[in-house]
Amino acid sequence: PSTASPPPINKPALSLSLFGWDSVPHDLASDLASCSACFRRLGLWMYKPKPDGSLSVYETLDIASEHLEYCPWVNAGTQSGEKRAGAKGKASGTGAGAGGAGWELVVHALATMTRRREWDPSTATTTTGPTAVGKEDGSILHEDMRASVDGGEVEDEDVRKQRDREWWSKLRRVRQALQVKGLSKKK
């Protein structure tokens, strides 16, 4: 078995997907991105250099500002439902249940998955030294995600085990609450 290096990451596609943009399903060759939350469509051909070498219509693409103002991918208030409830101000914090914008929740989820994947049970420590951005190992957002989640600090084993126990306990309670007991009884 040979260990082939993973294919290089398409950074523009990663950025677009991180902010909720997707290709239009019925026409993949049209260079059209769409957001299913705010129903905005974005013509990517306006940002690509022309085949004759001349400049594109627009020089840069700000993928966050292209969403409509009420889109939950960029507006934490609509993501958490505070706009409907009449609350004023922005939602504070990110993470589960904190009401961050959609892209912040995705980054937080990716950081959590990365942190859990890096933990090595045989040594009972987390890996130290974040991987540099843009390396071939696929860790393009590793430094930013680690800094945004835990401030770059290494997590203590006992603290991590306690959090995991609490998480599994909550999961069991939710499963029990959602389980319909009447269907499992035999007559």
Domain map (residue ranges) of the chain: 9-70, 75-156
The closest of 14, 4, 13 to 145, measured between CA atoms, is 14
Q: At what angle do helices 142-150 and 102-118 cross, to 10 degrees?
A: 100
Q: Which pLDDT band, with edges at 50, 70 and 90, does 159 fall under?
A: confident
Output the pLDDT for position 137: 39
Structure tokens at 187: 């007559």
Supply angle C-alpha 85, 35, 100, rounded to 5.
Answer: 40
pLDDT in tens, 34-47: 888 888 888 887 88
Structure pTM?
0.48
**Percent of the chain's residues with pLDDT above 70:** 60
Using CA atoms, how far residue 129 sits from 36, 143, 152, in Å, is 37, 9, 9
Output the pLDDT for position 116: 82
Strands of the 32-34 sheet, one edge to the other: 22-23, 32-34, 41-43
First to last CA, the chain: 55
